[in-house]
Structure 1
Amino acid sequence: MDRSDNSYSRFISWLKVLLPVSALALLSTMFLISKSVDPTTSLSYARVNLEELTGEQRIDSPRFSSVTDDGAAITFSAKSAVPDPDKTNVFTAEVLSARIETPDGGAVDIDAAKALIDGSSNIVDLSGGVTLVTSTNYEIATDGLTTAMDTTSAKTNGPVEAEGPMGHIIAGQAELTRQGDDNATYLLVFKEGVKLVYQPQTEGEVK
């Protein structure tokens, strides 16, 4: 009995030492783990990601097509578009291309570096360098252009330079208009100080 009592006493004594030490080891491990994960840092990181997701509402490769009230088909496409945070139905587009196909069989291809698209007024303002290529073999370069989405209308915002069948043209403005309200004929008009350097076609060139 004495031997068993002594063994039991020694066992209890060891437990009194081991249990507190084990508890301290567990607590220290918990503190070490809590230090390796900073909840404040994780929260700020989550906030940054959320701001990036909500702030960057970009549309990749948007495309829009419609038929105007005078029967022309218009197609717009861009590399990307970003909605205006302060205005409804207004977008800023990058690397925009447009094609206008008129009922009389004509066509105009338009390329621009940037565009401001206002869906409320159906107006597109092109900027950053604009080029137009018509089916009548005119190639026009200008800084800016305004066109409509609901009717066949395009007007440069400043001077233009063009190459065409008649030669090199410099003008204060160029405009694509419809001739008469009931006439399906469309005209490309150069105006405001037009200068033409006539380049006659030589034999063998396609007229």
Structure 2
Amino acid sequence: MDHYSRMVSYLKLLLPLTALGLLSTLFLISRGADTEAVIPFADREIEERLRGQQVTGPFFSGSTSQGDEIWVTATVARASADQPVIANELKAEIRMVAGGQLTLTSDRGTVHPDQDLARFIGNVEIITTDGMVVETEALKTQLSMVHAESPGAIRATGDLGELTAGHMEITSETVGGPVHLLFTKSVKLVYDPQKLER
């Protein structure tokens, strides 16, 4: 047997043994796994999640019987068998068949599908296509048609100036007709003609 063949036969034996030695050292040196890993949630968050079903980033779209398109989104929505759907950072966009758009936002809200009702609660803001911004603390809306009502005071700003009222209703006089904002109860308008000139 020549020198080359003898070296090859030694290497066939030596290389697998070296590989086994390296692997065994890796397992001996490696640290033990941390079996006591902490779940990254506070106890209160875990209790809230276990209490009811929760959806992150829910999205709903549909249309009314008149053909108006509705999109509703929220950051988080929770549901349970005996309560309405509760949503945080609620936002709705309504595009009317007759033209125009309404955008509604609030800190939170509830949806009652069995009553055809949604409530926007806390820092409610309504923006119309022509730039009017209406602010109130609560707004009750229907789900099957464009109809909403503010049970409390509102403050609105737009091209005409600043308006305050004790009650507001968003409605349409005819089915599928243009949507109107009707202000009642101690209505006060501070007219600003300069806004119209701009």
- The two structures have a TM-score, normalised by structure 2, of 0.72
Aligned equivalent of 2:57: 61
Aligned equivalent of 1:72: 68
Long gaps (5+) in structure 2:
1-45
Distance 1:189 1:131 in 2: 16
Aligned mate of 1:188, from 167, 181, 184: 181
Distance 1:197 1:168 in 2: 5
Aligned equivalent of 2:122: 128
1:126 and 1:145 in contact (8 A); partners too:
yes
2:89 and 2:107 in contact (8 A); partners too:
yes
Map 1:104-183 onto structure 2 (within 5 A).
Answer: 104-181=98-175
Aligned equivalent of 2:12: none
Following TM superposition, by how much is the alpha carbon of 1:55 offset from its aligned partner in structure 2, in angstroms?
2.6
Which of 1 and 2 has greater Rg? 1
For residues 144-194 of structure 1, give each alpha carbon's deviation from its aligned partner in whole angstroms, at most 9, with x where no partner exists: 00111111111112100000111000001111111124x522111111111
Q: RMSD of aligned C-alpha atoms?
A: 2.0
Distance 2:61 2:48 in 1: 31
Distance 1:51 1:194 in 2: 46
For residues 75-119 of structure 1, give each alpha carbon's deviation from its aligned partner in whole angstroms, at most 9, with x where no partner exists: 1100000003424xx200000000111111111101100101011
* Identity of matched residues, %: 27
Instruction: Using the TM superposition, name which of 162-171 and 195-204 deviates more.
Output: 195-204
Deviant stretches of 4+, over 3 Å: 50-54
- Counterpart of 2:63 in structure 1: which amino acid? V
- Counterpart of 2:137 in structure 1: which amino acid? D
Following TM superposition, by how much is the alpha carbon of 1:54 offset from its aligned partner in structure 2, in angstroms?
4.1
Long gaps (5+) in structure 1:
1-49
Aligned equivalent of 1:94: 88
Following TM superposition, by how much is the alpha carbon of 1:136 offset from its aligned partner in structure 2, in angstroms?
1.7
Following TM superposition, by how much is the alpha carbon of 1:143 offset from its aligned partner in structure 2, in angstroms?
0.4
For residues 22-63 of structure 1, give each alpha carbon's deviation from its aligned partner in whole angstroms, at most 9, with x where no partner exists: xxxxxxxxxxxxxxxxxxxxxxxxxxxx97764352100001
**Distance change >3 Å, CA 203–CA 140, structure 1 → 2:** closer
Please state whether the residue corresponding to 2:193 is helix, strand or coil. Answer: coil
Instruction: Using the TM superposition, name which of 95-104 and 195-204 deviates more.
Output: 195-204
